[in-house]
Amino acid sequence: MMDEISSHIMDIVANSVSAKAKNIIVVITKDTKKSLLTLRIRDDGVGMDEDMAEKVQDPFFSTKIGKKVGLGIPLLKGTAETTEGSFRLTSKLGEGTEIFVSFNVNHPDLPPMGRLKDTVFVIVAGNPEIDFQFQIINDGKEFVLDTTEIRALLDGVPINHPEVLTFLSKYLDENM
């Protein structure tokens, strides 16, 4: 297992980036009353056919040249199943991929969330050419970060400009 849910998010988003996605949506919902944490990551990358979508769930398969194993997706699936949750991967060639995972928040084997603010910051700063939407709902309280909205306000200033990154870091600190 990975040490934190944030590490899983980083890994799946890296897969989306590798799949040439231009738009990536990450939705994290925690409902303490229902003992439920869900994670949905959807991209508009190259997608996969049904056979490939099945193979990437196997830890002894990798789409990366020179690698014999690909552990990110199988580890996420294993974490979900270990914590009495579920895992679903859907994909279509030329349209993109969506991963949906649920976890029981009260299960003793559920890894901590980790520093989600730092994860969001690194993802946005490290991939300035991609549009991201992060929607985080914690017991009904919602936070949304949409880089398309930020870009519109920046009027051509790159999202990874140092002053923008300073603002983004403070904004995430105040709101997450």
Residue stretches of the chain with pLDDT short of 50: 67-69
Nearest C-alpha neighbor of 98 from the set 45, 143, 173: 45
Q: What is the pTM of this model?
A: 0.92
pLDDT, the chain, mean: 93
> Which distant-in-sequence residues (6+ apart) come within 8 Å of 125 by Cβ?
159, 160, 165, 168
Structural domains for the chain: 5-175 (3.30.565.10)
Segment 128-148, tens digit of pLDDT: 999 999 999 999 999 999 999
Query: What was the pLDDT predicted at 59?
Result: 73
For tokens 């300073």, name the residue. 166
